[in-house]
């Protein structure tokens, strides 16, 4: 695997769950312990699942991120469940980001490098968590993807709008299809040799203009598809129970944006995989 200098840390904001473990040779392998034991949402059945995860209660999770906003979002979910979430800061250039088009590969490489930076080293009983996310635009073959943070710092939302300037129509449904994109997030948890991977996504499309206001990153140009009554994303042109009514994330309240959060979905997916006590 080729390594480059670290890319800038992405700002804060499901697919089939994947789990890996480390064998005696230090190789990542699929773990038989990884299973989805919770049929329903972990957070919608908080009391039941708290009992089943008793062995994890009161443990500390070190979250490797330079963005305190991500830490606070994780605390919102995990503190009520008995976890202590702390921010892990490592020396500059300590984590080398791999050249890969997969956010999962990037996150897995980071988790391997970050283990030695735990306060008690690799033998710590604390858990380590890393999150990676990106914007994937279909008509650009997934660009900017894993390079979302760097691309935003170089060409910004204006550059993305220019790249898609040829994709326009008066038909709103057709427009959403032509400019379809999705936010993807992966959250990786390392727990004493077991590595759990949770995924989340938020499908939508790129608007034709920038709407400044709330949010950060690509929020001014990303319009999410509506959600149904269960909180699942619909397709372009379908109307749901939760909607931004065609407005990008930058033009809606943070409370509304959180309902679409790909990061929250990744956390849900991750903790639905933890073994029972």
- State pLDDT tens for residues 80-111: 878 899 999 998 888 888 878 899 999 999 99
Assigned domain for 276 exists: no
The 3-class secondary structure across the chain, one letter per residue, is CCECCCCCCCCCCCCCCEEEEECCCCCEEECCCCCCCCCCCCCCCHHHHHHHCHHHCCCEEEEECCCHHHHHHHHHHHHHHCCEEEEECCCCCCCCCECCCCHHHHHHHHHHHHHHHCCCHHHCCCEEEEEEEEEEEHHHCCCEECCHHHHHHHCHHHHHHHHCCCCCCCCHHHHHHHCEEEEEEEEEEEECCEEEEEEEEEEEEECCCCCCCCCCCCHHHEEECCECCCCCECCCCCCCCECCCCCCHHHCCHHHHHCCCHHHHHHHHHHCCCCCC
* CATH code of the domain covering residue 215: 3.90.950.10
What value does the mean pLDDT take over residues 244-256? 90
Assigned domain for 49 exists: yes
Query: Would you please indicate which residues are annotated as catalytic (active-site) residues?
Result: 132
Assigned domain for 94 exists: yes
Could you list the residue range(s) of the whole structural domain that residue 219 is in?
A: 18-271
Assigned domain for 277 exists: no
- The pLDDT value recorded for residue 55 is 54
**Residues 260-271: pLDDT tens digits?**
989 889 988 988
Number of domains in the chain: 1
pLDDT band at 123 (very low <50, low <70, confident <90, very high): low
């Amino acid at each position: 695997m080729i390594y480059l200098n670290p890319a800038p840390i992405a700002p804060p904001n499901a697919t089939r769950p994947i789990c890996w473990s480390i064998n005696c040779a230090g190789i990542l392998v699929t773990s038989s312990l990884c299973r989805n034991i919770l049929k329903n949402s972990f957070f919608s059945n908080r009391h039941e699942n708290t009992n089943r995860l008793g062995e994890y209660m009161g443990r500390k999770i070190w979250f490797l991120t330079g963005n305190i906003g991500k830490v606070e979002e994780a605390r919102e979910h995990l503190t009520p469940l008995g976890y202590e979430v702390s921010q892990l800061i490592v020396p500059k250039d300590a984590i080398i980001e791999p050249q890969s088009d997969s956010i999962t590969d990037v996150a897995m490489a980071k988790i391997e490098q970050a283990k030695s930076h735990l306060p008690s080293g690799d033998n710590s009983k604390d858990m380590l968590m890393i999150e990676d996310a990106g914007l994937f635009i279909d008509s650009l073959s997934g660009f900017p993807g894993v390079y979302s943070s760097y691309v935003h710092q170089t060409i910004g939302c204006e550059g993305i709008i220019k790249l898609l300037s040829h994709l326009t129509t008066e038909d709103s449904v057709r427009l959403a299809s032509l400019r379809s994109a999705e936010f993807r997030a992966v959250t990786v948890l390392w727990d004493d040799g077991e590595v759990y991977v949770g995924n989340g996504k938020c499908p939508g499309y790129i608007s034709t203009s920038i709407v400044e206001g709330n949010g950060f990153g690509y929020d001014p140009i990303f319009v999410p598809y509506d959600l149904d009554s269960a909180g699942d994303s619909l397709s372009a042109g379908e109307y749901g129970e939760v909607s931004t009514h065609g407005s990008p994330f930058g033009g809606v309240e943070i409370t509304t944006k959180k309902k679409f959060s790909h990061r929250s979905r990744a956390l849900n997916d991750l903790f639905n995989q933890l073994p029972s006590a």
